[in-house]
Structure 1
Amino acid sequence: MTETTGATTQDYETSPREGSVGRTAAGNIIKVVDPDTGKLLGCREAGEVCVKGAVLFQGYIGILPNTLFDDEGFYKTGDIAYYDEDGYFYIVDRIKELIKYNAWQVSPSELEALLLQHAHIKDVGVVGAPDPKAGELPTAFVVKQPNSIITETEIVDYVKSKVASWKHLRGGVIFVNEIPKNPSGKILRRKLKQL
């Protein structure tokens, strides 16, 4: 991470843990907090990653420090992650990409990973569709596998059977020919929201 002038986490093991970005690198202190309340979270509770250390930068010119740092001097990364019992961290999403359905936060990447397991789905992007009562409704943009005849209802029911109620695709499913991505393969959610 640039703001820590180097690695925030590091994998010290010869056989890395699948999906993990490692444990806290020397010189850093990492905590995971609820992004809305700032409450410290425990093991396997996903929240915002906050970092502190001797090599941490002091801020960006023209941006007030209290927008970047908490009251204890931890840099608020904007990453959502959790750690396991052995201190290994797992990145879940970015705060700005989270869908806010009522009081719940829904991770688009979690739903995308689930949908990509379906045999009839070639590619997918999930965003929040604006809703005046709920805030945002999870909505899936789906590229079908060639010759697939899967329906919106089948996809909605598939997700319903696998996740908590607040993660259901209440915004529905929109079939598209391709998911817009940047050259490095990152989904361009802004373009999906425009659709």
Structure 2
Amino acid sequence: MANQPQTHPNVTIDPNSGFNSQTRTFHSLRPNAPLPPPTHPLSLTDYTLSLIPSTAATAIIDSDTDTHLSYSVLLRQIKSLASSLKSLIPSLSKGHVALILSPSSLHVPVLYFSLLSLGVVIAPANPLSTPSELTHIVQLTKPVIAFTTSSTSTDIPNLQLGTVIIDSPQFISMLNNFNNSESPQVEVAQSDLAAILFSSGTTGRVKGVELTHRNFIALTGGFCHTNLMTGNPEEEIESKSVSLFTLPLFHVFGFFMMVYTIALGETLVLMQRFDFERMLKLVEKYRISSIPVSPPLVVLLAKSELVNKYDVSSLKILGCGGAPLGKVVLESFAARFPNTIIEQVRKNFIF
């Protein structure tokens, strides 16, 4: 979907749909989001971190260990890791592809932002990929280095710059080397490739989609601007949003929602493995206000008797993507959750 164009006397845009009959394209009817000039060098990392409100407190919570990561420590770890990577692996350069195989953890967002700040292209893949799928992904992306956990590293082939184990003591020391946390000066163009994200493989072998820093900057800026224009500042001061992530961070939906949540300065609660009743317990424990979900999860919330065992009154918004919800499901959900809004996210939400 394109942004609103400048007005021309011979161009008519339908005020209800945004359809331009001359170019046969749809344009957003929302006001243009204030975005940086496309020619201005800027990584997704620098743009996202520049949006974080000064009042932001807790960034990420690992629900398995109840470990909290504050925004101040998050920012320091991103700089520390980027600096350590450049120091310890000087051959790692802008434009190189890094394969990432890891379940969701506190380290993964730090790793993403650090690599993106260096101009390294991230290729996060499903850590449960079979050896055959992994071979195919390596052939597609041609990574020079891999980042993985001790439990998912066995099937990775030998790569030019080796494999880094992100749950190892060495990696933890790279995260927390705050005495050497000067950010390396790497000029990243918005048109540079940022990530290769993969399809789920439901229609054959997985496919990789190349996305630039500008793709994500435009998407993040547009969503954040919409949130700013429609939100209630008094409510934001009283209670910051807490999002529960049942989505894997290697998936496009999970990856973008992670970036968006950090940009807003909100709190992200991670689940490594999905379990419906445990999800309900976490909603109650952390007073979760929003969850990015798939349609089957909306059906479960609407119909399962387990919901009645827990206090889920904090839920305000569900962002649903993957497929449209049916009318019956929406009505059933609204009857049980009259104060919760469902925002349906289009499949082509990246532009």
Fold-level similarity (TM above 0.5):
no
Structure 1 or 2, whichever has the larger Rg, is: 2
The structure whose RCO (Cα within 8 Å, separation 6+) is larger is: 2
State the TM-score, normalized to the length of structure 1: 0.30
